[in-house]
Amino acid sequence: MRFVDEFRDPGIITRTAEEIRRLAGATRHYRFMEVCGGHTHAIYRFGLKDLLPDNIELVHGPGCPVCVLPMGRIDDGLSMSLQPDTIFTAFGDMMRVPGANGTPLEYKARGADVRIVYSPTDALKLARQNPSKHVMFFAIGFETTAPSTALTLMRAKAEGLRNFSVFCNHVTIIPAMRAILDSPDMRIDAFIGPGHVSTVIGCRPYEWIARDQRKPIVCSGFEPLDILQSIVMLLRQMNEGRSVVENQYKRVVPWEGNRAALRAMSEVFQLRPYFEWRGLGFISQSALRIRDSFAEWDAERRFQVPGIRVTDPKAAQCGEVLKGVLKPAQCKLFGRECTPEHPVGALMVSSEGSCAAYHNYQFLKSSMVPEIHAAV
Amino acid sequence: MQKAAPAKLRFKDPQIEMAHGAGGKASRRLVEGLFAPLLFDGSTEPLGDAGCVNLDGTSLSLTTDSFVVKPLRFPGGSIGELAVNGTVNDLAVSGARAEALAVAFILEAGLPSDILEAEVRAMAKAACTAGVRIVSGDTKVVEHGHADHMYITTTGIGRRIPDVNLSPLSVQPGDKILLSGPIGDHGITILLARGELDMEADIASDTRSVLPLVEALIRTVAPGLRWMRDPTRGGVATTLNELARDCRLGVQLFEQTIPVRDAVRGACELLGLDPLHIANEGQFLAIVAPGSADEALEVLRATPGGEGAAIIGEICPQPAGAVLVTTLYGGSRIVDMLVGDPLPRIC
């Protein structure tokens, strides 16, 4: 398969892993945060950790939109699904995320009209096909998905489609990275920077991280070779005492970003003064709301939104895991009360959540390491 | 008369959800926690797709399966064809040749008769190909809106093929894992056939009777054949996880040896799915003794429809109860059973 197999070539991967071992030496410890959930997933799925020397530690970042969404927002969104003649639509990732009263799938099993869509335009199509119903799209995601929500809203307005609305939960990545860097227990040496987000915002918004915080950052693709090559680039920067923004994912990420996408976002969205992030708390100017000129399509203004706030179970340590302070398996609930099948925290739900990735791909392995090595 | 102690039920889920029918963890919880303790005499036998019945010294296999696939027709097959092949295959992988089927239809009022006729014709053709007779049936019609066009249940009875003794408990470390052909075709075909994704691919369901392949395998390596199963819902990953738990051994797969068509790989990449979790309707897994593995592979590949067969891994003492995949680069990852339901109503 073109554009995939080239980046999974075992020969090149083995050579890159050797290069990493050579650059990392044995004298110091490196802590790299991969910002995106997509990276976390790929690292586990391809067993990349097994290829890295012990002194390179990968810390999972906050870039999983499902994981950082506070439970209360899920309940708010689902409360709208209980209105008569309403179709609740969301991406598949959202379907098993628990609110205080159940997941979207559980609401569906109880009779709510809950449907998976693969794009917000699918939700718009549903609205056209069901003029007597109201179709609400539960929008989540970073700058990766926000432009498509924006374009969908622009189209709804142009068509005058009144039975469609968006419950907007879009967030932006830079404030989250700032929150992590400002956190007192933060101990990250460098960042494997966002890939898909950067296709929209470009590489410039990360410059302060390299300049002011002296942390190297490399925007990275999601194939095994992309991630390993980004680690090589970070090690080179650190060994040479440099800290700059570099773009490993040049085949997809333009340095200046995607202007058309940014224009659509700024036409439809404005920054919220503040927004709650699961595990990270309130972060100012970190999320998007729908502008007044699109108020008619804003579910928060069309419906009575209860504004539910649910605190996470006390024992759950999602915040510490999100900030990279704890490893997934160090959380008290991991693998016991909290499993992919019965997730307590959202990190366990999404395949990009670090807890789910760790549980699905590594947990059993780490709990029986000696035997496995003997067997393999 | 002694009163039996009330069975302790482990099934605590408050309501039935789609995941309970998806063949993964929730399905297993339902079967082991509710159905087995109340219905199967508290049997401690590992649960298979077909049960064994002894009638006057004749050993028979009995199985049943319901089909609720949406859409009814898809590239490479239809609900009628699935309904016959699915049951024939459940018998085949339990080491039995299907002799007769009973069929039950649940039809929705308003179903166009020509659609029903096409499915009945598809069933007749599939039964003829598989060499099985349909001997009994039942029809129910429910109000419009209370079913999705039509559902079919088939129940099959088969004669056990002599010289085979299949059980997860006879699986041993060192045994090889054979797969009859490329995986994921059926699940991805159904997903694309629904037209909800703006995606097209040149791909068709793999629905077929696997009996000819199974018979060829039995003829050649019967004593070395330990266990077989068709990896339908939940895919190869779920089926092998069940095996690992039942035989209390580890399953070690080698990623580069697992046959997957490019169209399936591509769709899985785009949708974030693992081909190991995608359903198949015309493939089976067989565990064979190491000494018989090469011969088994040879005979499968020489049988029409088995050209894509491969040895994809082996049984290890560890990780007991789990499935581990070695990636192309020597890294490894655990492959769990399917959790939830990425593609509901695929068969």
Q: What is the CATH number of the domain that holds B250?
A: 3.90.650.10
Identify the helix (H) or strand (E) that includes residue B320: none
Q: What is the mean pLDDT of the segment spanning A185-214?
A: 94
Residues of chain A contacting residue B317, judged by C-beta atoms under 8 Å apart: 371, 375
B258 and B189 belong to one structural domain: yes
- Residues of chain B with pLDDT > 90, as a percent, come to 69
The secondary structure of residue A142, as a DSSP letter, is S
Which residue has better confidence, A135 or A328? A135
Over 70: is that where the pLDDT of A79 sits? yes
| pLDDT for residue A368 | 43
Task: Give the range among A85-99, A128-142, A225-239 with minimum mean pLDDT.
Answer: A85-99
Q: Nearest residue on chain B to A3, judged by CA atoms?
A: B266
B117 and B190 belong to one structural domain: no
Domains located in chain A, CATH noted:
71-173+257-302 (3.40.50.11740)
Structural domain that includes position B268: 168-334
Which residue has better confidence, B311 or A187? B311
Residue with tokens 């890295």: A52
Kindly report the average pLDDT of chain B as a whole number.
Answer: 91
B261 and B326 belong to one structural domain: yes
Q: What is the mean pLDDT of the segment spanning A291-304?
A: 94
End of a domain among B126, B160, B194? Answer: B160
Per-residue model confidence as pLDDT tens digits over B65-96 = 999 999 999 999 999 999 999 999 999 999 99
| pLDDT for residue A180 | 87
| pLDDT for residue B145 | 94
| Bridging pattern class, strands A217-219 and A190-193 | parallel
Partner-chain contact B330 A50, CB within 8 Å: yes
Over 70: is that where the pLDDT of A349 sits? yes
| pLDDT for residue A369 | 37
Residues of chain B contacting residue A374, judged by C-beta atoms under 8 Å apart: 318
A68 token code pair: 């950082």
B177 and B145 belong to one structural domain: no
pLDDT band for A186, please (50, 70, 90 cuts).
confident
In a domain, B293, yes or no: yes
Write down the pTM of the prediction.
0.84
Measure in Å the smallest separation between the Cα of A371 and chain B Cα atoms. 6
Which residue has better confidence, B331 or B47? B331
Helices (H), A132-248: 146-159, 173-182, 196-201, 207-211, 224-239
In a domain, B19, yes or no: no
| pLDDT for residue B19 | 84
| pLDDT for residue A372 | 33
B110 and B175 belong to one structural domain: no
Q: Which of B252, B334, B340 sits opposite A364 (nearest CB)?
A: B334
Measure in Å the smallest separation between the Cα of B186 and chain A Cα atoms. 20
Q: Does B56 touch chain A (CB under 8 A)?
A: no
In a domain, B13, yes or no: no
In a domain, B44, yes or no: no
Nearest to A359 by CA among A370, A349, A369: A349
Q: Nearest residue on chain A to B249, judged by CA atoms?
A: A375
Give the number of beta-carbon pairs within 8 Å between A and B: 104
Per-residue model confidence as pLDDT tens digits over A20-40 = 999 999 889 999 999 998 898
Question: To the nearest 10°, the Cα dihedral for A277, A330, A31, A274?
Answer: 10
Which residue has better confidence, A368 or A298? A298
Kindly give, in sequence order, each residue whose CB lies less than 8 Å from that of residue A292, ignoring residues fewer than 6 positions away.
none
Chain A contacts in chain B segment 186-215 (CB below 8 A): 196-197
Q: Does B41 touch chain A (CB under 8 A)?
A: no
B186 and B305 belong to one structural domain: yes
The tally of domains found in chain B comes to 2
End of a domain among B109, B133, B160? Answer: B160
B179 and B303 belong to one structural domain: yes
